[in-house]
A and B are shown apart, each in its own frame.
Chain A
Amino acid sequence: MGPQHPSTHGVLRVELKLDGEKIIEAEPHIGYLHRCFEKHCEALTYPQIIPYVDRLDYLASMNNEFGFVLAVEKLLKIEIPERVEYIRVITGELQRIASHLVALGTFGLDVGAFTPFLFTFRDREKILNLFEITCGARLLYNYHWVGGVSHDLHPDFLRLTKEFIDYFRPKVEELNGLLSYNKIFIERTANIGVIPVDVAINYGVSGPSLRGSGIKWDIRKNDPYSIYNKFDFDIPVGQGLAGTLGDCWDRYFVRVLEIEQSLRILEQAIAQIPEGDVTSAIPKRVKPNEGISYARVENPKGELGFFIVSKGGVQPMRVKVRAPSFVNLSVFPEIAPGHMVSDVVAILGSLDIVLGEIDR
């Protein structure tokens, strides 16, 4: 299944060994979108890397920047104002909803349901409008800077976000009615691509793909960063409602439930956000001490980590990105054999990969 295929979420080549319609072996070949991100980082200063970080997982840029900025701030050991923390959480959760909407819509499209795709994109437009009034960009923001954010929130932002939350809550029910409980959709996705628990942990799967197999592991709760310990939210896990535990439907449904939890966090954050100056802690020159640091955040796709090795200069010596889609895709050769060719598309859609992260 070649690099140009309407259903593989980017340029991914999957080599399948078939026996009639059944798959015996599957091997993904990646590297078609390799843009030498890590080599670039060694020639740029830390603030200059942030636009490049955006383009890793281009559907969840706010979370990418969050992770990178956390890693650099760990090396710098600076204090960030509380308003900045709240802004980061709000934009991160909004971005999580937007990314999940894309994942759900394109998953439906892969399976053959054309309409939910347009419904989810219509709602995503509203989120992108919110981002546009904040930082001017709809998809790739360059908003989180080391030590703060680049602009303060627009005065109407909080009111508009509240309106969005009220508008969007019933839409999740509509999506459920249209797609999640549809008998044909369940037939296409239940009992397909089951990831057993021990395989999932051994292969380092993270994010909704791991939670779909029943494990309650979320970086926001298990290794809290920023101010996530101030919020009250649940971690949805898959329960095998439609078939085996850990199948495609479970992973899909975990994403639907996570949208609701993100809405909860958003409500609490909007209620609690303090005033303050957002640019006060941004250093003039980002020159961390020598050392290594590893910071990880909960990306919509999984656990995103940045490993920075610094030798004390303004440019890092090595930046390594632990991309969640890279690790999630490595479990594909384990779970694909035994299914049919049409299921490959369903499995890839449920793992929710973005080639920008895999190839960097």
Chain B
Amino acid sequence: MTTIFNVWDFLLILLYAIIPLAYIIPFALMAVYAERKISAWIQNRVGPNRTGPIGLFQTTADILKLMQKEDIVANGADKKLFLLAPIVVFIGSYAAYAALPFTSVYIGTNINLGVLYMVAISGFVVAGIIFAGWASDNKYSIMGSLRSAAQLVSYEIPTLFVIISIFAITQQFNLRELSEMQTSNILNWGIFGFDGLGYKRILLIPVLFVLMIILFISTLAEVNRTPFDLPEAESELVAGFHTEYSGMKFALFFLSEYANMFAVSGLVTAFFLGGYQSPFGYLGNLLGLSWLVPIEQVLWFLTKGILLVCVQIWMRWSLPRLRMDQLMRVCWKYLIPIGFVCFIYITIVMYL
């Protein structure tokens, strides 16, 4: 009975864990608002502009509305699973934030298997979606959730190919070390071949572009966004696996979708766009204020992540939806062979 359990340690762990949550909730608020505004601009409309100065409080109003809605549970629904499903999905999305490299000073958990941890946790989300579909007692929900599960599981494979390709270059799964390897200027970013490889970078750059696109597409499929949103849009009847959810549980699904979007954008930036590094020195270093540097790093990371989230929103409102078998075909017939070829190429180049 040694003092493994120290109250202060526990509080520190709790603090480390709360920070991403404190980030997710305002981010989700802003992301929903941004999506509605951006989609309105694309579609020649105005978007929300009544609640708050330019409609800024729209999401808050929505959350308040959802909280006071009646919580309907269908009669034949499996009550425990029904309640558990949104919680599991949210836990899956939230736990992925533990490994995102926000700054060099703070990272949720500096686990050496950062990336693999994130991919494993996304399996939680799959389980949550299946719970949701099954517990709804609605055959269309079941079909929707099965499709979603198939889609998520298939698209993890191209993701893994990209991850092991990057591993072949950098020998690092730790996201913080990956970001450290992309220091000092934009030419050291992942997409331009990382630091310290010499002439091999020229050979690697085109392949790294391709890998970035593959990663972006497959993570888009992981979060069920258009053009891969068959499970949650149309799907025979209204809304796929979350048809039967109302009120706060639905809000939780929504929240976890936007949290997921940022998590995968964070993954793409950590790999290819320099993580939290800035493209040109730090203001803190210039001014000699070393405490400014982590803050700047946070800002850079958030900017890049939010930029990618905006690209995802833009894609959603421009493209039609892929049918289920076409979705699978894109994954198995195109992304996986291309990913495999890139991986072989990278290992050959690294071997030279």
- Which positions in B face A, CB cutoff 8 Å? 39, 42-45, 226-227, 229-230, 233-234, 236-238, 317-326
Contact = CB atoms under 8 A, between A and B. Distances in A.
B242 to A, nearest CB: 16
A112 B320 contact: yes
B321 to A, nearest CB: 3
28 contacts: A1-B236, A1-B237, A5-B237, A21-B324, A21-B325, A108-B320, A111-B320, A111-B321, A112-B320, A113-B318, A113-B320, A115-B42, A115-B43, A115-B317, A115-B318, A118-B45, A119-B44, A122-B44, A184-B321, A184-B322, A187-B323, A187-B326, A188-B322, A340-B323, A340-B325, A341-B236, A342-B230, A345-B234
A6 interface: yes
B319 A188 contact: no
Nearest to A111: B320
A184 B320 contact: yes
B317 A114 contact: yes
A188 B323 contact: yes
B238 to A, nearest CB: 7
Of listed B43, B45, B226, B227, residue having the most chain A CB within 10 A: B43
A179 B320 CA distance: 8
Interface in A74-93: none
A112 B234 contact: yes
A182 B326 CA distance: 15
A312 B178 CA distance: 90
B326 to A, nearest CB: 5
Contact of A342 (B42, B44, B319, B323): B323
Contacts of A341: 236
Given A112-B226, A112-B227, A188 B43 contact: no
Contact of B324 (A110, A184, A185, A340): A340
Given A1-B237, A111-B320, A340-B323, 7 more contacts: A6-B238, A112-B233, A112-B320, A113-B319, A115-B43, A118-B43, A340-B325
Contacts of A112: 226-227, 229, 233-234, 319-321
Contacts of A345: 234
Contact of B227 (A2, A119, A184, A343): A184
Closest 8 pairs (CB-CB, A-B): A112-B321, A113-B320, A118-B43, A112-B320, A111-B320, A342-B323, A185-B320, A184-B320
A114 B43 contact: yes
A182 B319 contact: yes
A124 to B, nearest CB: 13
A178 B320 CA distance: 10
A135 to B, nearest CB: 27
Nearest to A2: B237
A1 to B, nearest CB: 7
A118 B45 CA distance: 9
A279 interface: no
B219 to A, nearest CB: 18
Contacts of A45: none
B251 to A, nearest CB: 22
A343 B323 contact: yes
B320 A118 contact: no
A171 to B, nearest CB: 11
Interface in A108-139: 108, 110-115, 118-119, 122
Given A5-B237, A119-B44, A342-B230, A184 B325 contact: no
Contacts of B317: 114-115
Of listed A5, A114, A118, A119, residue having the most chain B CB within 10 A: A114
Interface string A318-360: 0000000000000000000000111101000000000000000
Contacts of A119: 43-44
Contacts of A2: 237
A226 interface: no
A287 B320 CA distance: 54
Contacts of B320: 108, 111-113, 179, 182, 184-185, 188
Contacts of B230: 342
Contacts of B42: 115
A261 interface: no
A249 B236 CA distance: 22
A119 B233 CA distance: 21
Contacts of A111: 320-321
Contacts of B322: 184, 187-188
Of listed B45, B320, B324, B325, residue having the most chain A CB within 10 A: B320
Interface string A1-22: 1100111000000000000010
A6 B325 CA distance: 22
Contacts of B325: 21, 340
A342 B43 contact: no
A24 B70 CA distance: 40
Nearest to A178: B318
A1 B236 CA distance: 7
B150 to A, nearest CB: 12
A178 B317 CA distance: 11
A345 B321 CA distance: 12
A342 B238 contact: no
Contacts of B233: 112
A133 B312 CA distance: 43
Contacts of A122: 44
Nearest to A184: B320
A115 B317 CA distance: 6
A2 B44 CA distance: 33
A256 to B, nearest CB: 16
Contacts of A113: 318-321
A118 B44 contact: yes
A342 B45 contact: no
Contacts of B44: 118-119, 122
A58 B44 CA distance: 26
Contacts of B229: 112
Contacts of B227: 112, 184
Contact of B319 (A7, A21, A184): A184
Nearest to B233: A112
Contacts of A115: 42-43, 317-318
Of listed B44, B234, B324, residue having the most chain A CB within 10 A: B234
A213 B114 CA distance: 56
Contacts of B323: 187-188, 340, 342-343
A184 B327 CA distance: 10
